[in-house]
Every structure is written in C-alpha cells, then in structure tokens.
Chains A and B, each alone.
Chain A
Amino acid sequence: MSGPSNYQPGSAFEKWLDTRLPIIRLGYDSIVDFPTPKNLNYWYTFGGILTFCLAVQIVTGIVLAMHYVASAQPFIEGSNISQAFASVQRIQRDVSYGWLIQSLHTVGASMFFIAVYIHMFRGLYYGSYKAPREILWAIGVVIFLLMMATAFMGYVLPWGQMSFHGAAVITNLIGAFPVVGDALRTWIWGDFAVSNATLNRFFSLHYLMPFVIAAMVGMHIWALHVPGNNNPTGVEVKSKADTVPFHPFYTVKDAFALALFMILFAAFVFFMPDALGHPDNYIPANALSTPTHIVPEWYFLPFYAILRAIPDKLGGVIAMFGSIMVLFALPWLDTSRVKSMRYRPLARQFFLLFVVACLTLGYVGAQPAEGLFLIIAQIATAYYFLFFLAILPILGIVERPGNAPASISEAVLKPGAARPAHAAAE
C-alpha cells in the first residue's frame, strides 16, 4: 500500500490469481511485508486488540441473535417478564454454552471500550492525529461514535430496568432540540413512548451497525497504510532502517499483548461476569417504576457526567455531543509542530491532567448529580473542553519543545542523544 509492492507470486495459481484479483498481494503488502516503525511500544498493540474485540462481538452476537427474541410482550400469560428478558435468561440457562456466549458478548462490550479508550489516549499522547493522519483520526472518531450507538442499543435489548429507563433518558434528550425535537423523538421511538416498536428497531440497528463498524475499520486500516504508522517519537519514517516488516515482528508482539488482554477478558467472563453491570438490569423492565438512580454502563459515564454538568437540558445535550465532535477538529486545534508529547514537557502535564479529568468524569457520572459531585463534574467538563479549545492551540505557540531525534533509528540506537522532554526542559 505505501510504497511499491514486493510480492512475488510463487505458484502458477498465484500468478494466475494475481493478474485477476490481487488479493494475496493485498494481504502480503498489508500484514506481512508492511514496513512498520521498529520502535512501536505496547500501547500500539491495541489496534490489533480492537480488531479482535470487534470479531468477538460479531461472532457471539450472531449466535445470540439466533436465540434472542425482540419482544416486549409477556413471556407467559400473567407475568411481567417480557419475552426479550426471558430469552436472554433462556440463553444463560438452557442454550448449550449460552452462558459463555452471552457473557463473552456483554463483557466483550466493556473490553472493547477499555481497549478503545487506551487506543484513543495513545493517539492523543503521540500526536497520531496530526498531518498526514487527520483522515485516519477522523475515521477513528466515526468508529467510536458508531460503537457508542451500538453499545447503547445493545444494552436496551435485555429489556431490564436499566435497559428501559436508560433508553428513555437518552431518547428523551432528542426532545430537547427546538422545533423538531418532539416529532423526531416520536419517530425514533416508533410510538409515543419507549415500547415494543423501539425494542425491535434497536435490535435491527444493533445487528446492522457492527458491519458498518467493520467497513469503517477497513477504511481506518487503509488510511493507516497510506502514511504508515506513527510511532512514539512522532518522527516520520526516513529510511528502511527505521522499519521492520510487520510479520513476524508485530504479529508476534500483537499476539503476545492480545494473550495478556484475553487473560483480563477471561477473568471477567468466567469469574465476575456481572461486575461491570448493574443489578437493576436483572429486574424486568417496568415503565411504572423508575429506578432511584439511572446510570448508564461504565463506558458512558464520562459523557453522562458532561450531560448532567450543564444545568440546561439542551445545553447538556450539546455539550455531550460537542465533547466528541471536538475530536474531529483536534488535528487543526493542536498547533504544535512536534507530534509526540515525549518531547513536549508542558503538553505532557496538561495531558496527564486531561486523563485525570476523564477518569474523574467517569467517577462523578455514577454519582447523583448534586452538591459537590455536580461542582466537580462542572470543573472537569470545563477542563475537558479547555484542553482542546484553548490549551492545545496556545501551547503549540508558546511551548518550547525538547529536541526530537532526527530519526527513529537514532532514537533507538542512542537513547541518550535526544533527551525526552523532562530533561530538555531544564
């Protein structure tokens, strides 16, 4: 993809195929011979881990869809348990290895988000969004948005208390938009409240979206393979000496990191499958009884905190969507000519504070929006936006970055030559 292809068709069949559909060439150039910076650290293994997560979600999801019933009707006469709720329990109790498949899917959603957040923070830290990778970054943000929509709709499907009331809270936000809000909300519900119609369309879209994500991941990898990987120094590849072929060097490193990730994944699936969920979602949905605290899944908590930090409903909605939309503008908001924060002493401290702000938002997102929690949420929200809209634009101009190495090879061979920022700043 980037640079000329080194693929040599070996057999007669490969030659025949290569002149018709060069699919082996594509695979060879992308995942075997692809020149990859030789200094990628473990933070760079999360791309591969995320691909694995998507595959797990799609495979387990397809099997679950064979058993799941998208219906809010009572599963037996006189019961307040819906068919949807009962079918998820049937999967857990009666389907062969259903407990495993279902658990892989719910825990898998959390694992997917852990990995994507690390992946995003890594991109932020090493300046992976900067030219010539703006499109690559933007596609990533689109994938993140699609993931959020998919996860949100997936959480509705078991039709428990949190499913139902979470769906009500979030879809009601649409009603905050002036003029069209009410009509739009009714259109999305397919009814005048969250109902059976809503459940059915959410199931339909929840099944569709992962394939859209898969297509976007293809685009993401394509956009990655044109400029090639960024790396911890942020210095572009200068010569062949700076790179190693993707296979076996990064296939083996990614595989090792993936195995570690799978250990964490399995610990949750087999020993604490409900640790990341909420007990209330094991209560069948009941429109007439609202849980005392409606909280979304942990991976939405920072955004939920931003939503509630703004006293005005419409303002909260705008802030919540804005917190993601601002990521699209990031490549142009960051004015620094140095990519990696390794060589940006000030930026690094602000980045660290940004990570703390995000974790804080996650924490207060699970608390009632009142008193001190509300104030903390507002401060953290303010910092979240300031980081992108003020700190990064200004820092690029006022900060005196440290000396980045001339090339990746220099950084690797003489680690002392280019001092990372904390030394250079003195």
Chain B
Amino acid sequence: MKPNIVALGSLFGLLAFGLAPSALASESKAHPKHVGFSFEGPLGTYDRGALQRGFQVYKQVCATCHSLNLLSYRHLGEKGGPFECFPAPQTEGEGEAHGTAHVRPICPATPNDNPIVKAIAAEVSITDRDENGDEIDRPGRPADRFRAPFENEQRARGANGGALPPDLSLIVKARHGGADYIYSLLLGYGENPEGLNVPDGKYYNPWFPGDVASIWSGEKNSVPEGGLIAMAPQLEIASQIVEFGDGTPATPEQIARDVATFLAWASEPKVESRKRTGVVVMIYLILLAGLLFVAYKAVWRNQSH
C-alpha cells in the first residue's frame, strides 16, 4: 500500500506545483521586482498604515483618471479595510490621567458608524434625485459607490488622448505579477532607450505589455522589452502633492508600495478572513485525516489485503 500513497502524493504535488505555474506562465516576461509585501504568503495581512496611505494616494492622484467602480465607501470601514479601526478621540480629563501612552482603537460594527468613512464619503458630491424627481447634488454616504472621474468611456477617452484609463477595482488580480507588477510599472519609467522613437502622448515602460519593434531603429535582435503606455509618469508629481499624515516620507518608492498595497486590498477585500479561516480549516482537516487513518488501520487490522 505504501508506494501507492507516495505515488498519489507526488502526483498531487506535480499537479499543484508543477502543472499550474507552467500552464500559466506562458506569456509572462521577466518577472517584476519582488517587493515582499506584508500580505503575501499564507498568513500575510495588510499593513493598515500602508492601506491608509495608499488610499490617500489613490484619492489625490489616481482618482483623477481611474475609477474604482466595484467599491463603495463603506468598504473602507469594513472588516479588513483600511479604516476598520481608528484611535479613540481623547476626552480632556482622560488625556491627563493616562498620559498619551496607549489609546485603545475603536472598531465600529458597521461602516455607517465609522466617522472616518462617513467623512471620506461626505467629501464627495453625488448626483441624485430629490423627492420631486429633480436632479440634485448631495454629499456622499458610506453606501455610495466610489464616484468615477468620468461619466462614461467616451468622456474618459476624450480627456486622455483616446486612451481609456482602466478601472482599478481588480487591477492587481487582472495582471500577471499582481501588486509587484503595479509597483514595477509605476517606478519603471525612465529615459527612453536610444533608438526608440516614442510618439507624442505615449511613454515607454519596460513593464507594460506590448511590442515596440515597429518604432525601434536599433539592432533588430535587441528590441527593448516592454510597451507604450498612455499614462504619463506619476510618481514624481505625486511625491510633491502627497503628504502623509503619519509622517512617512512620500518618496516615489513609498508611494508605489502603498498604492500597490491599497489596490491589492481593493482587488480582494476579504483576503484576511480567507486566510484566517483557512488556517482553522487546515488544522481541522489534518486532525480529521489523522483520526480517519487510525480508524482505517483499526478496521482493517485483521483483514489481509
């Protein structure tokens, strides 16, 4: 019986770790820089500070062009979200009595009770109708969807030289390399390689998928990897606009890392519950398997097979 278990095990191993990547790695080029995000691995969680900073970057920079259609403001305050918890406001007497040493965070049961989320939503003006059916603008509520920068695709293209800034709700899941790709792409702009005739309104980025052979005047077999992207480099400008409330210096690397973290969360807000549940399920299943193995041995004890 033993060799069969080994064979079965190795077959599973082959399927899980051999076949899957080989089947999927078909079109990836050089893998983007491995950043080492806190949310990687089977137990990784999001760094709340990075999520909050990343949201700030999205709001101040990305949101000018990119929608986040699948998210509502309430998601920011839900379990696992950037503003799930916040430090308790200190009453005067308390501050003196306990000093400023340790403040217990408050985690409201619903985002509707979360003043930070309510404030974020209220900053936005939402087009709605009043009781007479007339169009009005009202302050946003946590239940509202993230307001898109453009009303429709045509407007978005019109404002961006014909290119459509993609919705970012799933961008990390929808790209090979995920958050590493976003990070590398944002930092990947630089001097154009000599011999590459980049047209106006386009930018060369080595991480953007594409083919630049048609605008390459250098040697035929040394066409640079990468493609032409319509988004101008953002990080230089962003590092001048953005000022993080927690004192983290807004360097291009920091901004890229934080916004990639935020977008990873936006792609899968339930990742932390998923992994937490997974650990419990795994422990349960391993115990169950052990117990069943003992039962199996006991049942078959006196039976030749």
Residues of A within 8 A of B (CB): 38-39, 41-43, 75-81, 86, 89, 92-93, 99-100, 103, 114, 118, 244, 248-249, 252-253, 255-256, 259-260, 262-264, 266-271, 273-276, 278-280, 282-284, 292-293, 295, 298, 301, 359, 362-363, 365-368, 412-413
How distant is B250 from chain A, measured CB to nearest CB, in Å? 29
Give every chain B residue within 8 A of A264 (Cβ-Cβ). 12, 16
Q: Which of B20-28, B91-99, B190-198 faces chain A?
A: B20-28
B90 at the interface (CB under 8 A from A): no
Chain A residues within 8 Å of B288, by CB: 259
Query: In the bound complex, how far is the Cα of B167 from the Cα of A108, in angstroms?
Result: 29
- Checking B16, B42, B277, B303 against A100 with a beta-carbon cut-off of 8 angstroms, the contacting residue is B277
Closest A residue to B166 using CB positions: A283
CB contact under 8 A between A298 and B19, given known A86-B70, A270-B281? yes
A263 to chain B, nearest CB (A): 5
Residue of B nearest to A251 (CB): B299
Residue of A nearest to B266 (CB): A93
Known: A38-B304, A249-B300, A271-B42. A266 touches B293 (CB 8 A): no
Q: By the criterion CB–CB under 8 Å, are B167 and A92 in contact? A: no
Complex alpha-carbon distance, A38 and B238, angstroms? 71
B69–A79 contact, CB under 8 A? yes
**B70 x A42 contact (CB < 8 A):** no
Assess A118 versus B11: contact at CB under 8 Å? Given A255-B292, A270-B274: yes
Bound complex: CA of A118 vs CA of B145, how far in Å?
46
A77 touches B275 (CB 8 A): no
Cross-chain contact B26 with A293 (CB below 8 angstroms): yes
With A76-B145, A301-B23: A253-B296 Cβ-Cβ less than 8 Å: yes
B49 within 8 A of A: no
Q: Give, as a whole number of angstroms, the nearest-CB distance from A46 to chain B.
A: 10
Q: Is B176 an interface residue (CB 8 A)?
A: yes
Can you give 14 contacting A-B residue pairs, CB < 8 Å?
A43-B4, A78-B153, A114-B12, A244-B305, A255-B292, A259-B292, A266-B278, A273-B274, A279-B176, A279-B178, A298-B20, A362-B19, A366-B22, A368-B26
Alpha-carbon distance A273/B277, docked complex (angstroms): 13
Nearest B residue to A81 via CB reads B69
- In the complex, residue of chain B having the shortest beta-carbon distance to the beta carbon of A289: B164
Q: Whole-angstrom distance from the CB of B14 to the nearest CB of chain A? A: 8
A248 CB contacts on chain B under 8 angstroms: 299
CB distance from A107 to the nearest CB of B (A): 11
Docked CA distance A344–B289 (Å)? 35
Query: Which residue of the partner chain, among B16, B24, B151, B267, contacts A278 with CB atoms under 8 Å?
Result: B24
Contact B278 A279, beta carbon cutoff 8 Å: no
Number of A-B contacts (CB under 8 A): 149
Task: Report B1-31 CB contacts with A as 1/0, cut-off 8 Å.
Answer: 1001100100110011001111110110000
Q: Which of B23, B42, B167 contacts A363 (CB 8 A)?
A: B23
Which residues does chain B contribute within 8 Å of A293, judged by CB atoms? 26-27
- Given A38-B303, A270-B278, 5 other A-B residues pairs in contact with their CB atoms under 8 A: A99-B268, A249-B303, A267-B16, A270-B279, A276-B20
Residue of A nearest to B210 (CB): A292
Residues of B within 8 A of A81 (CB): 69-70, 167
CA distance A71 to B20 in the complex (A): 31
* Any A CB within 8 A of the CB of B269: yes
B174 within 8 A of A: yes
Flag whether B202 is at the interface (Cβ < 8 A): no
B1: A residues at CB distance < 8 A: 41-42
- Closest Cβ–Cβ distance, residue A125 to chain B (whole Å): 12
Rounded to whole Å, the gap between the CB of A87 and the closest CB of chain B is: 11
Q: How far is the CA of A397 from the CA of B15 in the complex (A)?
A: 35
CB-CB nearest in chain A for B209: A292
Measured CB to CB, the closest approach of chain B to A280, in angstroms, equals: 7
In Å, the complex CA distance between A42 and B277 comes to 29
Contact present for A269 and B70 (CB under 8 Å)? no
Contact of B170 among A42, A75, A100, A282 (CB under 8 A): A282
A293 vs B28: C-alpha distance when bound (angstroms): 11
Partner of B285, one of A76, A78, A263: A263
Q: How far is the CA of A79 from the CA of B282 in the complex (A)?
A: 40
Does B148 make an interface contact (CB < 8 A)?
yes
Residues of A within 8 A of B118 (CB): none
The reply to whether A271 and B289 form a contact with Cβ atoms under 8 Å apart is: no
A103 to B178, CA, bound (A): 19
CA distance A295 to B282 in the complex (A): 32
A92 to B175, alpha carbons, bound, how many Å? 18
Chain A nearest CB, measured from B215 CB (Å): 19
